[in-house]
Amino acid sequence: MAKVSRAPQQDEPPDIFDVPAAVLCARCGQPDCMGCEDPSDNEGSGVVAIVPWERPGGTWQRLWATARATTLSADTFFAALPDGPVRGAITFALLAEFLAVGSMVALIVPLVALVMPQLAAAVVSNPVLRDRLIFLGVVGVPALSIWMAVAHAAHGVALDAGARRNGARPQRRRAIRFGLYACGWDLMSGPLGALAAAFSEGGKAAGQALSASVRVPARAAGALLSGVYSLAPAPAARARKWASRAAGVVTVVSAIVVLVFAVILYKIA
């Protein structure tokens, strides 16, 4: 486990990002260690002190701290993102996207009902249409959440490929973790993230989180390429540009597949 400046007290909320300037492995003492494994835990990554989601604690507390760090402290967070297990990052990504998509649906449905009351009345009075929309919601929200998590992971893989094309050492697993933890942006920019930020820190904080989530993809990718891949600004810019194009193609193609799948489900529902 990486050394940190101090451990949070029991009654004190964990810091969003509590790491020293130089991160050393607590097991071997090397700054470039990829994470010494504990013999009793093959999933040990040595990153508990860096990624809030991988710390002990309540699920929402760890989820929110990580989403906030990936958005508001993206430069520091992704520049120092260590290697580690992918399983926990997948859980974070799916949960963050499910809450983001679910909260968006929960916001849009009442708004549509208010703006188009006749349509809402038709849905309520028509059991076939109502059941079909419920079915699509039950299937569509998880499916869209998975697709968004996969799209983020694909962006991470594309960044790794772009970095290797510009002379960097491969960091595939770390790049996938980058993409999965980047799902925190979607949670922060969604209705639930805005509500949580406003409730815990005030309306101004909610606006800051939304504004930061718009600018964060480029900042985070640049931080990963310079901090993890040690690329100079010029090759990092080329790698990011190539990755954006590759990830864009993958996103468009996969979106078409998801749309076709949704149409098929709607017809057979």
- Note the pLDDT tens digit of each residue in 73-131: 899 999 999 888 899 999 999 999 999 999 999 999 899 889 998 888 888 888 888 88
Q: How far apart are alpha carbons 148 and 156 in whole angstroms?
A: 13
Q: Roughly how many angstroms between the first and final C-alpha of the chain, as a whole number? A: 50
| Residue 32 belongs to a domain | no
Q: Is the pLDDT of residue 164 over 90?
A: yes
Amino acid (one-letter) located at 100: A
Range 190-210 average pLDDT: 81
Q: Is 175 exposed, middle or buried (0-12, 13-18, 19+ CB in 10 A)?
A: buried
More confident residue, 177 or 19: 177
Q: Is the pLDDT of residue 26 over 60?
A: no
Range 53-70 average pLDDT: 92
The domain containing residue 238 runs over which residues?
Answer: 58-268
| Residue 2 belongs to a domain | no
Domain count, the chain: 1
pLDDT for 258? 76
pLDDT for 269? 60
Amino acid (one-letter) located at 131: D
This prediction has a pTM of 0.77
pLDDT for 227? 93
| Token representation of residue 74 | 């993206």
- 224 close to 204: Cβ distance less than 8 angstroms: no
| Residue 39 belongs to a domain | no
| Residue 35 belongs to a domain | no
Q: Is the pLDDT of residue 268 over 50?
A: yes
| Residue 10 belongs to a domain | no
Q: Mean pLDDT: which of 17-31, 185-199, 252-266 is highest?
A: 185-199
